[in-house]
Amino acid sequence: MRADRAVARVAHGGALTAACARFGGAPEDWLDLSTGINTRAVALPVIPASVWQRLPDAQLSDDASRAAAGFYGVSSGVDPLPVAGVQSAIQVLPSVTEGPVAIVGPTYEEYRLCFERAGRPVEMIADLSAVGPVHRLVIVVNPNNPDGRTYRPQDVLDLATKLAARDGVLIVDEAFADLRPDISVAAQAGRQPGLVVLRSFGKFFGLAGLRLGFVLAEAGFSRRMAGLLGPWPVSGPALAVARSVLRDSHLVSSVSEQIAERRKALAVVLQNAGLSIAGGTDLFLLADHGEAQKVHLALCRQHILTRVFDYRCNWIRFGLCPDIGSDQRLGRALAAID
């Protein structure tokens, strides 16, 4: 393992303060398309004052867990573990798993970084079929970030079965799967040996700042992770929001329709600009362009932030625009680039 890779930091989307410092303007002047997050946050429910005043109690956590179980379609008897965003679960994965790691990539870089920092051997592989007999832990993001690749549920479950036979674990990150129940294996989590599913709350509901996610796994795995996360890993207000929002079927339907409409509009803007769409999910689109880095910089000069990747210089990722006016602004900016 190279030391420089072990201590490196990943550049993420959402670095708006840094963009303002380099290119000028206040945050409100910018159109931030660098993240894969719903740009229309849902309205927050009324949160009782007691939730703000007290430490989160077991009842509040259990209520949020039950709401998540219903939302994700988890089997009866499986209790989703609330965590402070999927990232907090990733941080402790090296401590709750063993053996050589295979990561299907390219994908979310924090997985590789966390395991390398822990001194675990990591192999980046191109597909599920490249998993070898030496691997004890496999990580797949489905749909994948940033290219949107997907994997059939049966292929995922078959791999989990193979890994379980050698005391291995398959981690399936479904952070972008809220509108893709056809590929989700959340319903099998906690029942299928060797399977752990990670789900994000903030992306779909536009509440990334809440820092909330859920781990769907068998009870032993969840207990080990909970022990490492310590008491009160999730704030009471976040749990209260989840308890309310995840049970609101009308709200979920409205958010789903709004995201689908915004994604369609973004695709039209990019296609009209002559960009080749290489993939994506419901919350972002990935374009392939020979001068992606230059396009990114040109948009920054017009106070529009996108996401580029140091490992694939021809990729540029666009998050959803919040409204028609923003669609038009992005279209004009792209048209102005030579």
- Lowest model confidence (mean pLDDT) among 9-13, 57-61, 187-191: 9-13
Find where tokens 């032993």 sit: 220
> Is the pLDDT at 4 greater than 70, yes or no?
no
- Overall pTM > 0.85: yes
**What are the φ/ψ torsions at residue 142 (nearest 5 degrees)?**
-140, 110
What does the pLDDT read at residue 3?
A: 38
Burial of 62 (0-12, 13-18, 19+ CB in 10 A): middle
* Other beta carbons less than 10 A from residue 153's beta carbon: 18
Q: Could you give the CA distance from residue 68 to residue 81 in angstroms, rounded to a whole number?
A: 9
Output the DSSP codes for 281-310. Answer: ETTEEEEE-TTHHHHHHHHHHTTEE-EEET
What's the pLDDT tens digit per position in 274-325?
999 999 999 999 999 999 999 999 999 999 999 999 999 999 999 999 999 9
**For the domain 3-41+250-335, what is the CATH superfamily, name and number?**
Aspartate Aminotransferase, domain 1 (3.90.1150.10)
Closest CA to 101 of 186, 170, 192: 170
Give the contacts of 33 (CB within 8 A, at least 6 positions apart).
304, 305, 306, 307, 318, 319, 320, 321, 330
- The CA-based angle 182-102-223, given to 5 degrees, is 75
Question: Could you tell me which CATH number the domain at 49-247 has?
Answer: 3.40.640.10
3-state secondary structure of 214: strand
Domain ranges of the chain: 3-41+250-335, 49-247
CB 139 within 8 A of CB 103: yes
Average pLDDT of the residues in 150-158:
98
- For 97-113, what is each residue's pLDDT tens digit? 999 999 999 999 999 99
